[in-house]
Structure 1
Amino acid sequence: MCACQRVYIFLIYFFDIVRIPNGVSPSLTLAVSILFGGFLGLLDDWIDLRWRLKAFLPLIAAIPLISFAYRWGNARTMIALPLLGTIDFGIYYYFIIIPILVTIVTNTVNMLGGLNGLETVCPAIVMIGLMMVSGSNAILLLCPLIVWLTLAFFNFRGKIFVGNTGSFAIGITLVAFAVISDLKFNLVVSVLPYVFNSSLILLTFFLYRKKANVTFNGEKLVSDHRRSLITLITYQRPLTEHQVVTIISLLVAASTATALLLFQFF
């Protein structure tokens, strides 16, 4: 999947299909970000990286995005927020906002997984939402979306497993595309279910030193605690794997639709 995305994006760069001033290449920036995301995920699959490393290694992927935003101009330091108006973060945008976005989105996407289809269907929904309001930049994700939807089809049926390689790659793909297309707020709203899941996991772990676990009785999933989004949904309520994935996908679809509405009206 990562190789296909990179080849496609490099072709866009080679034929200069997407151009913007100041010698900035959105396609090359996106390709480099995806390359690092895939490598980080592959490394995690091989040697099982400690969570401290996984939390901060994505910051390296922020470097090409910082360079892109800086060379693009001052307009990139502004973020339009509903009711609050447009906020100019100035230099803090480059060294605080972008790194935080990369770290949070990449890790939250990676943390919500473990069920067939969950790691592919939900990111595909967010990707489609971003593409719908990205204008000409949507072509950057055309091939990646097709490949990802194909993976989602087989992953949902339990035929393939994308692993950390896929989840890290798609996480960085989403945040890189959002920065390139100036859709940071849309991305944040779209991934709110991811953020909620990660917050629940981290809070229960650091406060009670307990991890989220779900029990499979042979047919359905059930949990006796609420320490993650999955265990919250299955708390004393047995559900099949596909039912859980469908519920979470609907939550992501709702947050993505909310982001689209906010984009249109604010």
Structure 2
Amino acid sequence: MEGKEEKWGRDVAMRSVFAANGKSWVPLLMGAMPLGVALLTVAACTPVALRAHVGTSCVLSALAFWWTRSLIPVISSKIPATKRGCDLLKRPVRSKIGEADRNVPESLGIVSGVALVCALVLTQVSTETPAFAHDYAAAMLCIVFAVLLGFVDDFLDLEWKYKYVLPPIMSLPLLSAYDGGTRVVPPKFCRAALLETPLGTALDAVIAPLFGGAVDGASGVVDLGLAYKIYMVLLAVFCTNAINIYAGVNGLECGQTYAIACAILAMSAVELGRAADSDNYDATKNHLFAVTLMLPFAATTLALLRSNWFPANVFVGDTFTNYAGMTLAVVAILAHFPIMLVLLMFPQLLNFLYSFPQLFGMRPCPRHRLPSFDPVTGRLRASRVNDRADLVPPHRDSFNLTLINAALRICGPLTEPALATILVVFQLLCCIAALALRFSLVGHVY
């Protein structure tokens, strides 16, 4: 067996500086930096009157991190053999998979999900902030729904057509509890078009009878009415499935989510300080809610990432992708920055658009669109439709349309940890660019 593993070149990736091999400090530094920067921003921007609240959330988030790290090995040892998976990126395509190869515990997102919910409950009980108790309860219900339904999905292995039905069910508590406005402020050039051209009248004629909305003829502000709540559901569907389909590489699901969570945490901390300085009660409440929700979310995701980074000791499963996407959607909706979330999730949006032809049957789509492992070099290469099964005639064979494969086509064959690092760094750069746009151009656009 050892000779076979050497022949497959598995040790090549383990020697990478990006692998969690116990020798390289790069993964630890990469994991600590985003949250470290976000926490420094929180410390610098949090108003004095709110420091006790945020400090309590920080302490409980640290406990949630420790609890997740401690329980993952315990729970993973209890996972039965029937619920363990094979890491397909560490073996040649079409090689026979035996029972001994299914040795990675799956669905360990349940541990971080439960830790997150417990931390949120304890934070609400400890801080006693009735200002957003209603929103907080709705958010926790949505996350609990997402954890439970994701765990069911992991164990029943639901088909993709059912995965589009689950997010609307998860978002029911959010829809029932949402009492915020349904008005949106379009960018300046859109408001000018609505006020100075027949477009405003035409839009009003459409949304008024269908959704009970209206276009303000004086300011150009659009009240979407029921359409706004439909948008909320669609955002939840997008967030959960966008993370789910942008996956397959050790650490990528957790890494992308962790980067987005840290970006939201830093952004909300800055906005919290600004809102408090201007005595804007609603904005202060919204961004305090976002900080309180993102602190334990980032902490528990980091704890799970440590076990899921290459070489992965556990798989996160649909449990994690479900509640991670729902948490991001919930915080964006209740803290009123849904457009900003879409900017932060630019890689996920790009991956979805690039995958569209395969996802919707325009081109052949295999069950697994993962990269292919080269047993000679020990590196990953962009996969083709026929790599794992003969689905189409050879002349119709083509590359799978995923952002992961696109990265491999651009950069060439890479080890798995190097590929994951490139994709997570790309996510971080997109988040930084989105934050720069928000803080530098928002005054010019709106």
Q: Distance in 2 between matches of 1:81 and 1:125?
A: 27
Distance change >3 Å, CA 203–CA 39, structure 1 → 2: same
1:17, distance to aligned residue in structure 2 (A): 4.0
Q: Distance in 1 between matches of 2:189 and 2:347?
A: 22
Q: Distance in 2 between matches of 1:112 and 1:187?
A: 16
Distance change >3 Å, CA 210–CA 192, structure 1 → 2: same
| Structure 1 segments unaligned to the other structure (5+ residues) | none
Q: Distance in 1 between matches of 2:236 and 2:186?
A: 19
What does 1:73-88 correspond to in 2, within 5 Å?
73-74=180-181, 77-78=183-184, 81=187, 84=190, 88=222
CA contact 1:12–1:27 (8 Å) conserved in 2: no
What does 1:145-224 correspond to in 2, within 5 Å?
145-157=298-310, 158-205=312-359, 206-211=361-366, 212-218=369-375, 219-223=378-382, 224=384
Q: Report the secondary structure of 1:122's partner residue.
A: helix
CA contact 1:9–1:30 (8 Å) conserved in 2: no
Q: Distance in 1 between matches of 2:185 and 2:343?
A: 13
Q: Distance in 2 between matches of 1:18 and 1:121?
A: 31
Q: Which residue identity does 2:305 align to in structure 1?
A: A
CA contact 2:154–2:318 (8 Å) conserved in 1: yes
TM-score, normalised on structure 1?
0.89
Q: Report the secondary structure of 1:25's partner residue.
A: helix
Partner of 1:92: 226
Higher relative contact order (CA 8 A, sep 6+): 2
TM-score, normalised on structure 2?
0.55
Of the three residues 130, 134, 138, the one matched with 1:25 is 134
CA contact 2:249–2:416 (8 Å) conserved in 1: yes
CA contact 2:261–2:297 (8 Å) conserved in 1: no
Q: Distance in 1 between matches of 2:431 and 2:221?
A: 22
Of the three residues 6, 10, 14, the one matched with 2:125 is 14
Q: Distance in 1 between matches of 2:370 and 2:316?
A: 21
Partner of 2:149: 40
Q: Distance in 2 between matches of 1:244 and 1:238?
A: 9
1:101 aligns with 2:235: yes
| Structure 2 segments unaligned to the other structure (5+ residues) | 1-111, 192-219, 273-287, 385-398
Larger radius of gyration: 2
Q: Which residue identity does 1:221 align to in structure 2?
A: L
Q: Which residue identity does 1:246 align to in structure 2?
A: T
Distance change >3 Å, CA 196–CA 43, structure 1 → 2: same
For residues 91-125 of structure 1, give each alpha carbon's deviation from its aligned partner in whole angstroms, at most 9, with x where no partner exists.
13443210110111111011111111101011011
Distance change >3 Å, CA 89–CA 217, structure 1 → 2: farther
Distance change >3 Å, CA 156–CA 51, structure 1 → 2: same
Partner of 1:53: 162
Q: Alignment RMSD, CA only? A: 2.2
Length, aligned pairs only: 261
Q: Distance in 2 between matches of 1:256 and 1:208?
A: 31
Q: Distance in 1 between matches of 2:174 and 2:221?
A: 19
Q: Distance in 2 between matches of 1:163 and 1:216?
A: 21
Partner of 1:132: 266
Partner of 2:418: 243
